[in-house]
């Protein structure tokens, strides 16, 4: 069932891994849903890859597992104890794909590893998820035939990796339904169709899998659309509540205030406190942040891109365009003398709270 698309996946992943190795120093190591690699001594060339697939109810039987190396491919299914095992020849590079039956709504898993010189024990934990099934269509509404490269990225819970270990999600082609599909953990996912047929351009669309399956058409762009939004959040649609006893206010964006199903970052420019949220399908959002009277709150929005979100403070210096933002001011009625500031927010509460090289490691409170 998965043989043809997995071989195609390996070719594509070779390209993805090459790109990943170039950018991986920017990424942090992720614990993810996978156990660490357990090596043991063996003869060079051929290794055994084995492990257990466990779900919410315990070991999962009948799960398809594909294991690939640069020139070899092996497939198996888990036994009644959730165990799998294959022997494969490798020069140190491996791909492992785990696919429970789609009807079970248990999530997929994909792992790439490099530098392998010993047997590998790789366990997987699959969780309850939802079905993502986009169908790329042309300007006439008809499905686009032929091989397409679909990239899928989670918004709220990104996967991280290292130079020798990486995780990702992928959309598989199903010959029966004639659709791309994947069972993924609850989240918002951005699907990008790359290198579409002539007459179309790379196309990205967000799908909300937080509470249900998402099966929908994905109309391809007939003109170029820049991946970074040009316009900042609409300040005219953003309101600020009264400040509570802790100095926190609720920042609310009405419909159309931000991009739909996007990451929304709020930063108090006076105190450096931060808050993060996800906008709804209509572009509305709500988040609480430390914002005493007189605070200036910067609000940014954009799609998933951990490089940009984690390095907003050095983005321009590194040649990376940061996401657009707007600034709203918390009104105040304070008065003060010539040598005093007439508002409550006057610099950081703890100058050591935030690491200047990372804008996302701390969310403060009064």
The pLDDT of residue 62 is 98
The pLDDT score that the predictor gives to residue 229 is: 85
Fold agreement between 3-219 and 228-366: yes
For residue 13, what are its two tokens?
Answer: 């992943």
Answer yes or no: is pLDDT of 184 > 80: yes
What average pLDDT is seen over the chain? Answer: 83
The domain spans of the chain are 3-219, 228-366
Does the pLDDT of residue 13 top 90, yes or no?
no
Look at residue 365 and give its three-state secondary structure: coil
* Residue 270 confidence (pLDDT): 86
Tens of pLDDT, residue by residue over 192-204, are 999 999 999 999 9
> Is 148 a residue whose pLDDT tops 70?
yes
- What is the C-alpha separation between 18 and 82, in angstroms, rounded? 32
Contact assessment for residue 68 and residue 94, using Cβ atoms and an 8 Å cutoff: yes
pLDDT score for 344? 56
Mean pLDDT, range 59-76, rounded to an integer: 96
User: Is the confidence at residue 295, as pLDDT, over 70?
Assistant: yes
CB 287 within 8 A of CB 296: no
Chain segment 199-228, per-residue pLDDT in tens: 999 999 999 999 999 999 999 999 999 888
Burial class (CB in 10 A: 0-12, 13-18, 19+), 132: buried
Instruction: Provide the CATH topology of domain 228-366.
Output: Immunoglobulin-like (2.60.40)
Which of 104-113, 319-328, 342-351 is predicted least confidently? Answer: 342-351
Q: List the Cα angle 150/155/158 in 5-degree steps.
A: 90
CA 147, 197, 16: angle at the middle one, nearest 5? 55
Q: What is the pLDDT of residue 345?
A: 52
The average pLDDT across 171-184 equals: 94
pTM to 2 decimal places: 0.80
Q: Are 287 and 299 in contact (CB under 8 A)?
A: no
CB contact at 8 A, 299 and 325: yes
| Tokens read off for 178 | 């004639």
| pLDDT value for 122 | 97
**Band (126; pLDDT cuts 50, 70, 90):** very high
In this predicted structure, which of 79-93, 265-279, 289-303, 324-338 has the lowest mean pLDDT?
324-338
- Is residue 74's pLDDT more than 60? yes
Strands ordered across the beta sheet of 263-268: 274-278, 263-268, 296-302, 325-329
Among 26-35, 247-256, 260-269, name the one with the lowest average pLDDT.
26-35
| Max mean pLDDT range (124-138, 310-324, 328-342, 345-359) | 124-138
State whether residue 309 is helix, strand or coil: helix
Which of residues 5 and 196 earns the better pLDDT score?
Answer: 196
pLDDT above 90 covers a percentage of the chain that reads: 63
Question: Per CATH, is 3-219 categorized as 2.60.40.1930?
Answer: no
Mean pLDDT of 249-271: 95
Q: Which residues contact 153 (CB under 8 A, 6 or more apart)?
A: 169, 189, 190, 192, 303, 304
CA distance 33 to 326: 36
């Amino acid at each position: 069932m998965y043989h043809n698309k997995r071989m195609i996946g390996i070719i594509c992943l070779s390209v993805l891994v090459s790109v990943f190795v170039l950018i991986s120093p920017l990424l942090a190591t992720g614990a993810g849903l996978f156990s660490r690699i357990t090596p043991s001594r063996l003869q060079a060339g051929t290794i055994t890859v084995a492990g257990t697939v466990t779900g919410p109810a315990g070991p999962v039987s009948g799960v398809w597992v594909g294991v690939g190396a640069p020139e070899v491919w092996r497939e198996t299914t888990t036994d009644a104890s959730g165990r799998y095992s294959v022997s494969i020849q490798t020069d140190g590079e491996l791909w492992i794909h785990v696919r429970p039956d789609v009807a079970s709504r248990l999530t997929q898993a994909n792992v790439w590893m490099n530098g392998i010189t010993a047997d590998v024990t790789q366990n997987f934990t699959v969780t309850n998820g939802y079905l993502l099934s986009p169908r790329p269509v042309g300007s006439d509404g008809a499905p686009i035939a032929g091989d397409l490269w679909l990239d899928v990225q989670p918004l709220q819970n990104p996967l991280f990796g290292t130079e020798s270990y990486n995780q990702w999600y992928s959309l598989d082609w199903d010959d029966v339904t004639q659709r791309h599909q994947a069972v993924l953990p609850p989240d918002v996912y951005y699907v990008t169709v790359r290198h579409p047929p002539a007459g179309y351009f790379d196309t990205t669309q967000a799908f909300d899998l937080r509470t249900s399956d998402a099966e929908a058409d994905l109309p391809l762009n007939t003109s170029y659309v820049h991946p970074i939004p040009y316009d900042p959040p609409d300040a005219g649609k953003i309101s600020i509540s009264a400040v509570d006893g802790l100095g926190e206010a609720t920042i609310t964006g009405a419909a159309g205030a931000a991009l739909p199903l996007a990451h929304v970052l709020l930063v108090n420019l006076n105190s450096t406190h931060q808050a993060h949220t996800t906008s709804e399908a209509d572009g509305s959002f709500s988040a609480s942040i430390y914002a005493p009277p007189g605070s200036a709150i910067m609000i940014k929005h954009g799609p998933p891109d951990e490089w940009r979100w984690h390095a907003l403070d050095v983005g321009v210096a590194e040649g990376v365009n940061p996401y657009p933002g707007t600034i709203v001011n918390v009104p105040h009625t304070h008065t003060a003398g010539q040598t005093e500031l007439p508002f409550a927010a006057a610099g950081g509460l703890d100058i050591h709270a935030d690491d200047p090289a990372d804008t996302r490691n701390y969310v403060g409170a009064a």
